[in-house]
Amino acid sequence: MLTLLGVAVIVLGFALRFNPLLVVIAAALTSGIAAGLTPLEVLAAFGKAFNTNRYVSVAWLVLPAIGVLERAGLKEQARRTIQGLRAATPGRILLAYLALRQVTAAFGLTQVAGQAQTVRPVLAPMAEAAAELQTGGLVADDTRQRVRAMSAATDNVGLFFGEDIFLAIGSILLIVGFLDQSGISVEPLTLSVWAIPTAIAAFLIHGGRLLLFDRRLAKTEVEE
Q: How large is the C-alpha radius of gyration of the chain?
A: 23
The domain limits of the chain are 2-52, 57-223
Using DSSP's 3-state secondary structure scheme, residue 145 falls into helix
d(CA 57, CA 50): 8
56-85 pLDDT, tens digit per residue, is 555 556 666 667 766 777 777 777 778 777
Give the number of other CB atoms < 10 A from CB of residue 196.
13
pLDDT tens track of the chain, all 224 residues? 777 888 888 889 888 888 887 888 888 888 888 888 888 888 887 777 666 655 455 555 666 666 776 677 777 777 777 877 777 889 999 999 999 999 999 998 888 888 888 898 889 998 988 888 877 777 788 888 999 999 999 999 999 999 888 877 777 777 888 888 888 888 888 888 888 999 999 999 999 999 999 888 877 644 44
DSSP string, 29-71: HHHHHHTT--HHHHHHHHHHHHHHTGGGGHHHHHHHHHHHHHH
